[in-house]
Amino acid sequence: MQLKGKVAVVTGGGRGIGLAMALGLAEEGAHVAVAEIDEESAEKAVAEIMKRGIKSVAVRTDVTQPASVKAMVERVEAELGGIQILVNNAARLPGFLTFVEEKNSGGSAELWANIVDVCYHGVINCTAAVIEGMVERKYGKIINMASDAGKVGEPRQAVYAGAKGAIIAFTKSIAKEAGRYGVNVNAICPSMTKTEAVRQMLSADFEAKVVKAYPMRRLGEPQDIANLAVFLASDCAGWITGQAISVNGGYATA
């Protein structure tokens, strides 16, 4: 168990990729706090984690609100101990938005702001809340969920891709600041992964067409992402920082 006794926080850890990462960290012995805006899914995730004999806590958290994030960190550290691993996973996947095709909609200013708030500002808020403690302890692992869309762009996902691109730049910048204090900061960039949110966007016919763009001829599974997150959270990745690592079945190689 390479993470035995470590304390981890996974935002948006109640479902999909976040849940897979929370369970993966727990399997390796980490005590996991599930920071979720959806309390029901967080409680279910905690129940699954505790079946493994691991300490866990569900904390309702709105990552767009610094006060909510601060309260979450205080509770986690009171119940589990100092946070050593932070997985910034909470996101808003809005479906397809276009600024060009007349039959579709680019959404509203309110929607755009919310996407950026959850996806990008949430990463800033959570990082700011934990990094001081990591620096003091001279140890920390921060894993930010970005996207291949943030590297190479994606049609009908411009706002989401922009927010994810900002996460990549933020990751690289914080890594350069924090490395001297023993804090590793990396980003994971998945391509299309089979979560409930993605299933709602894709018809079976459209999925069959999309899969043909992947050299490995399948979409990602949440476990594919979790495997990398567990590695980056471990000391095996001790000399890896400031990287934006794609997990995409060969879809993009930039």
Q: Is residue 217 part of a domain?
A: no
Q: Is residue 33 part of a domain?
A: yes
Distance CA 109, CA 75 (A): 34
Q: Is residue 49 part of a domain?
A: yes
In tens, the pLDDT along 109-127 reads 899 999 999 999 999 999 9
Q: Is residue 216 part of a domain?
A: no
Helix, strand, or coil here: 78? helix
* Count of other CB atoms within 10 angstroms of residue 66: 15
Q: Quick check: is 181 catalytic?
A: no
- pLDDT 10s digit of each residue in the chain, 254 long? 799 999 999 999 999 999 999 999 999 999 999 999 999 999 999 999 999 999 999 999 999 999 999 999 999 999 999 999 999 999 987 767 777 775 556 678 899 999 999 999 999 999 999 999 999 999 999 999 999 989 988 887 899 999 999 999 999 999 999 999 999 999 999 987 766 776 666 666 766 777 787 777 877 889 999 999 999 999 999 999 999 999 988 887 76
Q: Is residue 1 part of a domain?
A: no
Q: Is residue 254 part of a domain?
A: no
Q: Is residue 205 part of a domain?
A: no
Contact present, 63 and 69 (Cβ < 8 Å): yes
Number of domains comprising the chain: 1
Which of 164, 141, 144 shows the shortest CA–CA distance to 152?
Answer: 164
pTM: 0.93
At residue 203, the pLDDT reads: 65
CATH of the domain at 74: 3.40.50.720
Which residues on neighbouring strands pair with residue 220, listed in sequence order? 193
Contact present, 54 and 30 (Cβ < 8 Å): yes
At residue 202, the pLDDT reads: 65
Distance CA 150, CA 128 (A): 22
Domain of 238, in residue numbers: 7-195+222-247
Q: Is residue 143 part of a domain?
A: yes
- Check 139, 160, 214, 251 and give the catalytic one: 160
251 torsion bin: left (phi>0), alpha (psi -120 to 50), beta (else): alpha
What DSSP line would sit under 102-167, residue for residue? TTS----HHHHHHHHIIIIIHHHHHHHHHHHHHHHHT-EEEEEE--THHHH--TT-HHHHHHHHHH
